[in-house]
Amino acid sequence: MAAAEPDSPLYLGLDFSTQQLKAVAVDGDLGPVHQDSVQFDSELPEFRTQGGVHIHPDGLTVTSPVLMWVKALDLLLDRMKAAGFGFSRVRALSGSGQQHGAVFWRTGAARTLTQLDPGQNLHQQLTDSFSVQDSPVWMDSSTGPQCDALQEAAGGAMRLADITGSRAYERFTGNQISKVRQTRPDQFQDTERISLVSSFGASLFLGRYAAIDYSDGSGMNLLDIRDRMWSQLCLDATAANLERLLGEPCPSTAVLVSLGTSDTLFLSLSEPRPSLEGHVFCSPVEPDGFMALLCFKNGSLTRERVRDRCCSGSWDVFSQALDRTPLGNHGNIGFYFDTMEITPPAVGLHRFDANDRQVSSWSPELEVRALVEGQFLSRRLHAERLGYSIGSGTRVLATGGASANRQILQVLSDVFNAPVYTIDLSDSACLGSAYRALHGLVADSGVSFLDQLRNAPEPQQVCRPHRSAPQVYDLMLRRFAELEQKVLEKSRI
C-alpha cells in the first residue's frame, strides 16, 4: 500500500460480499492507501454462518443474518480507527453489495436511523430495526412458484425478459419479496422499507433510507430497464403498494453502486438484447448504457470445497495439481454443482471419462483440473451462446480472490484462448467502489467514469494461452455442450 500525503483527500470503497466485509481507500491518483476486512465466519462466530450464510434444511433456502452485516461494519470501522485511518480526509464514500440480497426494515426503523448515537455501536442500536432477521441472498433458489407466477402475469418468460432484462430467477429480489409476503405475512406487514444490500449499506452511513440504484435494481425482476422505473405490471404481481416500500430508484452516479459476488461474466452493451439465459442490467458506469451478465452460483465456494477434500485445504497443493495435469485432463470432464446452478439450472456432481461414460471418482489431481476446466468451459460456452465474440483480439480481465492464483488463471487463459490480465488488488469490488466515490463528485458535471479513471493503474498481463490450447479446448467445448445437455436431462428427472 502506498502512503498518501498527510492532508490529501481520500475516497473510500466498501464491499458487503457473501463471506466478508471489505474496505479499500484510494488517494486522488487512484492509488490504494488502506485495505481492511472482516471475515464473517471466523470473526463473528456467534452468527454461526458457513461461508457467510445459513443453508436451510430444504437445501434451497439460503439466508444471512442482517445484524451480522451491521456488526461487521462496527468491527471494521473500529479497526480502521485503531489503525489511525484518517476519516476526516474522506471526501466521498461508495459501496457495493452482494446482488439480489434483500433487507426488510421494520416499521419505525426510519426514525431510529435519524437518531443514531455515534457513541454507541450500530448493531446495538439497530437490533429491533429489521422485520426479517435472516435476509434472503443470491444463493437462494427456493422461489420457483413465485417465479412461475411472475412470468405468467407478465405474459411469459421472454416478455418478462424484455421488460426487466431477465426471465424470472429464484434469487432475484422481487421473487424473494413475494415469498416473504406469502409465507411470513405478519413480518411483511411490519415492513416499512425494503433495501438491497448495497442501498442498505448506504443507509447506515446516511442515517436515512438510501435509494436503490438503476444497475442493482436491474437484478430484481421489477425494474423496466429501458424506462429505468419500476414496472407497474411486475410490482402488482409481487405485492400491493410495493412501490412505497421500495422508494424511487436513482441513477448509479447519484451521490449517495454495486456488483455482485460469484463467478460472473460482463459485457458492455449500447442496446439491450434480453434472452432467456443471462441478464441485461442498466450500466453502473454509462448513464444510457447497458451490460450483459452471466452468473454462476457454484464458483469460489465449490473451488474451496474441492481444495479442502483433495488438497488438505492447501491452495499450493491445488496449484501443483493443475501444474501436473495436462491441458484437456486426458479427456475427463466434470460438472460440479454443489447447489442448484443458475446457468445451467442443474445440480449434483457429474464426472465423465474420455469416452463420455459417467464415472464415480478420479485421483485428486484429475479432480482439481476437471473442476477448474469444467467451470471455465461452462463460462465460455454460455458466453458464446449469448453472442460474445471470442477471437484474436479477446482479452480477459480477471478479478476477485481467485485472480491471485496464477495456475487457475492459466487454465482460464487456455480455455478462452486469450491473454489474462489482473489488477494488483484482488478486492476489485472495493476498489471499484472507491473509484465510484471519486467519480460521484464530478459525475453531474459531465465527466465520464472512464475519463475519471485515465490515471488508474493499468491491468497487468499475467499469462498467455499455450499454443496447443485451441486444438484441445475447441473440440472439448463441443463435447462439454453435449454432456451438459445430458446433465440437464438428468437433473430434470
pLDDT digits (tens, 9 = 90+) for 38-71: 999 999 999 999 999 999 999 999 999 999 999 9
Res 254: pLDDT? 54
pLDDT over 80 at 310, yes or no: yes
pLDDT over 60 at 1, yes or no: no
Res 255: pLDDT? 46
Q: Give me the percent of the chain exceeding a pLDDT of 70.
A: 96
157 pLDDT band (50/70/90 cuts)? very high
Between 447 and 167, name the one with better pLDDT: 167
260 pLDDT band (50/70/90 cuts)? very low
Res 291: pLDDT? 82
d(CA 204, CA 225): 27
pLDDT over 50 at 26, yes or no: yes
Res 257: pLDDT? 63
d(CA 437, CA 30): 11
Rounded average pLDDT over 132-145: 95
pLDDT over 50 at 259, yes or no: no
Say which range, 10-14, 309-313, 488-492, has the weakest mean pLDDT: 488-492
- For the stretch 370-391, pLDDT in tens is 999 999 999 999 888 877 777 7
Give all domains of the chain, ordered by start, each with its CATH number.
Answer: 140-250 (3.30.420.40), 300-422+462-492 (3.30.420.40)
Rounded average pLDDT over 264-289: 81
Strands 358-359 and 348-352: antiparallel
Res 256: pLDDT? 40
- For the stretch 397-438, pLDDT in tens is 888 777 789 999 999 999 999 999 988 776 777 888 888 888
- For the stretch 210-220, pLDDT in tens is 999 999 999 99
Res 225: pLDDT? 94
Between 247 and 452, name the one with better pLDDT: 247
Q: How far is CA 144 from the centre of its chain?
A: 21
262 pLDDT band (50/70/90 cuts)? low
pLDDT over 50 at 143, yes or no: yes
Res 165: pLDDT? 94
Q: pTM here?
A: 0.79
